[in-house]
Each structure stands twice: as C-alpha cells, then as structure tokens.
Structure 1
C-alpha cells in the first residue's frame, strides 16, 4: 500500500476516535449544581409538617401529672431493649393499618392518616380529657420508620432511614454518596405517594429556583431516581465506556499499520 494511502487511513481513524470521544463529553452546565445560587441568597425557609400515611410506625407516649395514672394508656416497653435497638423500638410502635387507624391501649382505634403528628397529638389529648381518662395529659407522637429510596446513577443506591423530621433532596443524595459523573443532574425523578395519590415530579439540580417548591423537602417513602446523562446513554449502546472505545480504536489502528507496511 502506498504511503499516502496509509496516511489517509490513519487520519480517518484518528478523526473517528476523536469524534466518538467528543460525542460522549458533557459540558459544565450539565454537571455543576445550583449554578444560579447567587440569585437565590437570603430567602425565607418554610416548613410544612408531613401527614401520617398507611404503613407508618408511630411512637405514641402518653404522660400525666401523676405518672402512674398514664401507665394503662402506654405499651409496656422494655427500656433496656429499646436503648439497644431501634428495630425493637419499631416493633413496640403502633403500625398504621391500610384503613389509616392505630390501636391504642384503653382508647382503642384512632384515625391517624391525613393528620400531622401535632394534629394526632391534639386528637388523643382531646379524647383523653373528654372521656374523663386523664387530667391535662401530654401526648407525643413520632414517626419511627422514616426512609427514602435513591436509585440510578449514584455512588450507593439504596433505601436510607432518617430520624430528622425534615430532610431535603440534597441530603438524601448525600446519603447515597452523591451522583456519579454519569448522573443526569437536570432531570431527577421524584416519585411520591401521599394520601393515596401518586405524583411524579422532575427536579433540576443545576438551578436553585425549585427550592421553594414542596418537592425540596422530602416526605417519608419518597423515591429519587437519577437518570443517566447523554454521555452514559451513548456509550452504553455499543461498549461500556469511552476508554474502551479508545482502546479498541488504538488496537485497530495498530493492526492496520502493521498490515499495510
């Protein structure tokens, strides 16, 4: 083969390799978080209490001025066992059934769904006082099995429990080890089921103008799905990654050079 022909083949393969590599690249605008953060400084933060859902496990504690009077209204819990295991604490809690009720000692079934923890506390207090059970009772309600699931292009996908009353989308992604370089930051799916209604929302992490939306603070049982970006999708179709493409092209180029000498 003539030298000019060899040079032409080498140039063609080089151009192909460069084209494949460039087509798999992404820009900074697709990678950087909160790119308009300077425009979103000094803003008010609003908190909205979550409502209780079926399958929630609640810790309900009832106390009174005379502690002995409140004993019948609480489950008998082994304090040492509770201190040693959160899972045991969950087993001792009150499971909200599919109809939305919990069953308390003495008081019986109480509707819990579509109420916040504070509203349920007030409802139980009213029932204790109006029924002549206790005088000035104190009721505390807390969710024991709060969790969020993060799937897709993150370092550690999985389901994560949390004890805070409020958790944000960035916090949940932090539990999952942050997005991989292949994560699509401008289109994250949030799947939420509240009060027997499923809602799917698209979140753009490259901006900050969604932080005032209800989707910024997650609710228990929310699911985040991080989609692969265009670079990941393009490389996944034929080979695993860009380095593999370059390696194959290099071997092909070397073989052609050896064969055409």
Structure 2
C-alpha cells in the first residue's frame, strides 16, 4: 500500500507542475520583419498630462516671462519662489494656461507639433529662434495581473517598451499567459484594447510595443492557475477523502 500512496502523490505532483517550454519562452514564433521594426516612438499629449515647458534663448531677459517658477505662500501671505519649475496641467479640453498666450490646446498634439505651435507664437515677436523643451512630469504606466510585482511605475524619460514595463513588474509568473497580454490605451477619449502575443516576434512591430503615458498592461492567468485558485477551497476535503479511501482499501486487502 505504501507503493500505491507514493504513486498517487507522484501523479498529483506531475499533473499539477507540468509546464511546457513553448508556453513560456518569449519570441519563439514568426520571423522578425526587420523592415517594420522601428526605434521611433511618438508621444501624444493627453488630458491630465502634467507638462514641464522650458523656453530658452540667447536673450535671457526675453525668455524670463515664459519660464515662471512655482511659488508657495507663507503664513504671512508672501509668495516665495522655489527651485521647482512651473508645470502645466492639460485639462479635459486639452488646454493649458500658458504665460502671455493664455489658453493653448496641446492635447492631441505630438511633441513636434507642440514645438511648432510654440515656436510660431514666440518667434519673431517675442523671442528670436527660441529653444523649446517639453517633458511630461507624470508619465507613468501600470502593469497588473499575473506578474511578480504589479503596480504603477513612473517613467523619467518617456520611452518605455512593453518589455521594459514587464521588467519593472518583475516579469510574468510561470502561470501568466504570454500569448494574450492586453494593453489598454486611451485614444480620442476612448479606451482601446490591444492584444500582444509575447511568444511571437511580431510583438516587436506592434503599435503598442512602445507604451504611451497612462497605458495599462494586463497579464491574464492561464487555465491551470484559475483552476488551481477555484479548487484551493476543496483541497483539504480532497486530501481527507483520498486518505480515507486509501485506509479503507488497506483494511479490505489485509
């Protein structure tokens, strides 16, 4: 009977831990389309983006009105400047309130388009040949689902691929589905879902290979993980019943 018990336990372990390499190895299918692979990515400004805009010029005095410092107020009511530069929040209409010019609609524009808009407004009436820098202070992506360390991650350089984001989350668990990773992105005020198959080399040419600010990456659990979760509550009962059956069989065969 000892052999019977060992055999049953062995079968349980084998069936519960069997994982195929083809289910977990990245980039194993399809040829890489080198002509479609690009290192270029385009940032599109969206509502709730917090922008840092710096205007530089040879004429330092001319640029000062367009580079307001953030201020705080003391208990005496006096405003004191801080080292932090003023930021501009894109509102629900896609607009920011910029010095001198007032409302500017940057929502929906790429960085290059925003550069051109500001340069056209500044030159030559205010600043001749201005240098403009725009960055997103609150660029972040979220990774959750079947990964080791789910969470929201702030990206300092605005360039993050789906692989970078998964790396920040500690990679997928063995039970995470690599063939059905979802990226949720806001486009034209709508939530759009993209499917990414990390088993395929076509991931490298996906429109969501480079993530946008506020993108959400969701990793689905595989069937074994779901079944395991649903059966955990019955595990103790199963073990008890199995033990009882083994005991009965042992008594009957004496």
Normalising by the residue count of structure 2, what TM-score does the alignment of the two structures yield? Answer: 0.82
Q: Of residues 49, 52, 64 in structure 1, which corresponds to 2:45?
A: 52
Unaligned runs of 5+ in 1: 1-5, 83-87
| 178-187 vs 18-27, which moves further | 18-27
Distance 1:256 1:235, change over 3 A: farther
Partner of 1:35: 28
Please name the residue that 1:99 is paired with. Answer: 93
| 1:103–1:110 CA contact under 8 A, matched in 2 | yes
Shift of the alpha carbon at 1:16? 8.8
Q: How does 1:147-186 map to 2 (within 5 A)?
A: 147-186=140-179
Structure ranking higher in strand proportion: 2
Query: CA RMSD, aligned part only?
Result: 3.3
- Matched positions, count: 243
Separation of aligned partners in 2, 1:179 and 1:161: 19
> Is contact 2:69–2:82 with CA below 8 Å preserved after alignment?
no
1:114 aligns with 2:126: no
Q: Compare 138-147 and 52-61 and name the one that shifted more.
A: 138-147
Give the distance between the partners of 1:148 and 1:249, measured in 2 at CA. Answer: 47
Task: Report the CA distance between 1:71 and its aligned residue.
Answer: 0.6
Q: Does 1:141 align with 2:134?
A: yes
Return the TM-score normalized by structure 1: 0.80
Contact conserved, 1:34 with 1:208, CA < 8 A, in 2? yes
Aligned to 1:208: 201
2:215 aligned with 1:237, yes or no? no
- Which residue does the alignment assign to 2:191? 198
Matched with 1:217 is 210
Show structure 2 runs of 5+ residues with no match: 72-80
The structure showing larger relative contact order (alpha-carbon pairs under 8 Å, at least 6 residues apart) is: 1
User: Which stretch shifts more, 187-196 or 172-181?
Assistant: 187-196
Distance between the aligned counterparts of 1:227 and 1:42, measured in 2?
29
Structure 2 CA distance for partners of 1:58 and 1:240, relative to 1, 3 Å? farther
Deviation at 1:113, TM superposition (A): 0.9
